[in-house]
Amino acid sequence: MEKTNELYELLYEYFESRILFGFYRYDEQLLSLQQLRDIFHMGRNTVQSALDKLEKNGYIETQERKIARVAYRGTREVFRENTAKYFVPRKEGILDFCYAGELLFNPMWEIAIHNPDADIVDYLKKIHGAESAMMVAMPIKLYLDVLRTFHNDLLLNLYWQCLRYLNFLYPSKREIRTGTIAEEVLSVRTMDDLKTEFDSYIDSAQNKVIDFIESARGEYHLEAVPQIPFKWNIYRSRPQVRYTLATVVIREIIWERYPVGSYLPSLPNMAEQYQVSLSTVRRTVAVLNSLGVTRTYMGIGTKVCLEPMDLNLLKKDEIRENMLLHGEGLQILALTVRGVALFTLESATKEKRDELLQEIRKLHGKTSSILCIDVLLSFISRECPSAMIRECYDKLRELAVWGYILSAVLMSTGQLDNDLSDFIGRLEKDLQSGDLASFSDEWKFFIMDRLNYFYLKFAFLK
């Protein structure tokens, strides 16, 4: 099922910013709907929804059987002010991306280009032409296509939202070269040289925007403007709030805030506690009941039971979607967790690392790998110096909880999670000795094993 719900906003905001900044000028022609689909790898309905909203808001005009043209009129001064109002409130996020980009995307690049099974150079030369270069700066487009080799929609979603937030990565039109640029860039001696060129490009673009922010903030009296943090919206085909709340409740059940046999608070109390509507609580409880996590008794309440799950439940679209997101989230974790964990631990005080050690010790006797992952992701989402990484790992923490379904399937088939005592013991030893690199390596291998096991059990989801 195509995820048109809100996803079109990414494409809409891409063109909105390009038009407001003067990248596209009045009466200039955009590409056809099919060309946009090919370049941005989005469905027809998603692209059309973005174009419809652009037209509704006066940015473009479309005529039947003709390509859309820019309808927005602006002067150089208007474009400059629009640019200032966008970038000045995002200065902290732009600077933060120095750390976040290295830790989130560089590991994926390294794995993709050094994969002997993927002829990435020939692939990139084949797909890059003048038209795509006119839409997206070449280094950014190459990164996008490298990331596509992982076949992970959640990863692409994260990348696009970073680009939407960090519009500085797109140069002015006069800086875009077309035609032979792909051949020029891809003819360098090694892919490592290519990566160096990309880093240089991004550093240069960032420095130009920071210089612009410093000059424009006083010019347009934006010194006191509040900063706008990066937010990662995970798009689903169905409403997200109930599933987000379901993961919160499942996490609290697994941590025995609500032990098996106890009752959840009343629906009105849950609505007040979680700051959501009563109807959202009802829908959330319905999700929990369907998963076998709880059972509602009329006139009594909702009891925590953690029953084995009906395997037919996996046929439901909403459950399949959440399980797919869980698997894609695990893959992002497997690719990034070593660097992110090490960066966070090295930045944390000894007191904070000791607190993490105490949390890990509480895992002794537990059999759920979900709890182990939750301890680490909770620590990173609190203590990592990068706000962008904290945001991303908080969302990945939410998706990780859907691993409960894997545990429920194992319960229904008479299987259990592996014994975690050795793993927990190694984590304790590494933290006690201060071997943070080994501690981070342990997590990389653990999550990779979890990812492989997930796809072994749920191969039909791929």
pLDDT digits (tens, 9 = 90+) for 31-65: 888 888 877 778 888 899 999 999 999 999 988 77
Shared fold status for 1-74 and 241-246+256-307: yes
pLDDT for 435 beyond 50: yes
Cα-Cα-Cα-Cα torsion 36, 40, 41, 44, nearest 10 degrees, comes to -40
Per-domain boundaries in the chain? 1-74, 84-224, 241-246+256-307, 313-461
For the domain bounded by 1-74, which CATH number is listed?
1.10.10.10
> Residues 201-260: pLDDT tens digits?
778 888 888 999 999 999 999 999 999 999 998 877 766 788 889 888 988 988 889 998
Amino acid (one-letter) located at 368 = S
Range of 2-11, 180-189, 220-229 with top mean pLDDT: 220-229
Just give the CATH number of 241-246+256-307: 1.10.10.10
Fold for domain 313-461? Answer: Four Helix Bundle (Hemerythrin (Met), subunit A) (1.20.120)
d(Cα 103, Cα 336) in Å, to the nearest integer? 6
Residue 189 has pLDDT above 50, yes or no: no
Q: Evaluate whether 242 touches 249 at the Cβ level (below 8 Å).
A: no
Neighbours of 225 (CB within 10 A): 15
Going by pLDDT thresholds of 50, 70 and 90, the confidence category of residue 266 is very high
Name the nearest CA neighbour of 175 among 217, 199, 204, 152: 204
Provide the pLDDT for residue 460.
Answer: 62
Predicted confidence at residue 49, as pLDDT, reads 92
The predicted-structure confidence for 73-119, as pLDDT tens digits, reads as follows 999 999 999 999 999 999 999 999 988 988 998 888 878 766 644 45
Mean pLDDT estimate for the chain: 83
